[in-house]
Amino acid sequence: DAGVTQSPTHLIKTRGQHVTLRCSPISGHKSVSWYQQVLGQGPQFIFQYYEKEERGRGNFPDRFSARQFPNYSSELNVNALLLGDSALYLCASSFGLAYPGELFFGEGSRLTVL
Amino acid sequence: KQEVTQIPAALSVPEGENLVLNCSFTDSAIYNLQWFRQDPGKGLTSLLLIQSSQREQTSGRLNASLDKSSGRSTLYIAASQPGDSATYLCAVLNYGQNFVFGPGTRLSVLP
């Protein structure tokens, strides 16, 4: 069975541009969460989607948005990129909202903003 | 607001040693706790999940314990190997909230 897949794996953008990151969850999982991880730190929660509805949002500006599609895949969009947005963006899937709650992560999308 | 810390930040041990990684959290009303491994530049690999009603979980050479009342979890690695070198992160899930991660412990196992 395929795990969580993310694309692209690496990308380089310049300040002010827009980026879209994509994630496909494990088959049968209905919840997708997005995390930002800067070098040397633990992942920071950005969004959680369940059954195509936003169920949680972390402390990120409105430049960050996301959505979940009927097939449970998800997109993370970031507008007006800043240098500080350079990070590893991780997508995680889980079966439901809470129980059993185990997260499974993809390999991430490494974003560099110049 | 839940806060998660991990001690030590980095650890270097010779191959074959048994070792303990620590995770502390401030809000004990957790739903579950999960340990992950992360290789440089890669995603997170789930190691163990402990539900709030459980005291410990074991997988191979790994054993994770949970003491909710004291806000602590430990990850025990037996007979460490160079392939265990990675960053180990713990994350806690509170009711109605989302996973909060610690900063990780960077482990180096020397051959």
Residue A99 has pLDDT above 70, yes or no: no
Helix H segments across B21-105?
A: none
Say whether residue B61 is in contact with chain A using an 8 A CB cutoff: no
Q: Are strands A10-13 and A109-113 parallel, antiparallel or unpaired?
A: parallel
From A56, A98, A107, residue closest to B43, measured CB to CB: A107
At A85, list the tokens. Answer: 């947005």
CA atoms of B85 and B102, how far apart (whole Å): 18
Residue B57 has pLDDT above 80, yes or no: yes
Q: What is the mean pLDDT of residues B3-26?
A: 96
Say whether residue A71 is in contact with chain B using an 8 A CB cutoff: no
Average pLDDT of the residues of chain A: 93
DSSP B15: T
φ and ψ of B83, to 5 deg? -65, -10
What sign results for the dihedral spanned by CA atoms A22, A27, A29, A30? positive
At A101, list the tokens. Answer: 């709650």
Residue in chain B closest to A111 (alpha carbons) equals B41
Say whether residue B41 is in contact with chain A using an 8 A CB cutoff: yes
Confidence of residue A100 (pLDDT cuts 50, 70, 90): low
Mutation to test the B interface, candidates A37, A93, A110, most B Cβ within 10 Å: A37
Residue in chain B closest to A43 (alpha carbons) equals B101
Confidence of residue B101 (pLDDT cuts 50, 70, 90): very high
Confidence of residue A97 (pLDDT cuts 50, 70, 90): low
| Nearest-10 Cα torsion for A104, B16, B104, B62 | 40
Percentage with pLDDT > 70 across chain B = 100
What pLDDT does A101 receive? 75
From A42, A101, A110, residue closest to B93, measured CB to CB: A101
Closest chain A C-alpha to B5 CA, distance in angstroms? 10
At B47, list the tokens. Answer: 């190691």
Note the pLDDT tens digit of each residue in A19-67: 999 999 999 999 999 999 999 899 999 999 998 999 889 999 999 999 9
What pLDDT does A18 receive? 98
Q: Please indicate whether, in this complex, the C-beta atoms of B32 and A43 are within 8 angstroms of each other.
A: no
Note the pLDDT tens digit of each residue in B81-95: 999 999 999 999 887
What pLDDT does B19 receive? 95
Say whether residue A64 is in contact with chain B using an 8 A CB cutoff: no
From A42, A101, A107, residue closest to B89, measured CB to CB: A42
Question: b/e for A25-56, b at 16 or more Cβ within 10 A?
Answer: bbeebbbbbbbbbeeeebbbbbbbbbeeeeeb
What pLDDT does B3 receive? 95
Contact assessment for residue B105 and residue B7, using Cβ atoms and an 8 Å cutoff? yes
Contact assessment for residue B35 and residue B89, using Cβ atoms and an 8 Å cutoff? yes
Within 8 A by CB and 6+ apart from B67, the residues are: B55, B73
What sign results for the dihedral spanned by CA atoms A106, A102, B32, B54? negative
Chain B contact set for A106 (CB, 8 A): 43
Q: Please indicate whether, in this complex, the C-beta atoms of B49 and A102 are within 8 angstroms of each other.
A: yes
Strand partners, A7: A22
Q: Tell me the three state secondary structure of residue B83.
A: helix
Residue A55: left (phi > 0), alpha (psi -120 to 50), or beta? alpha
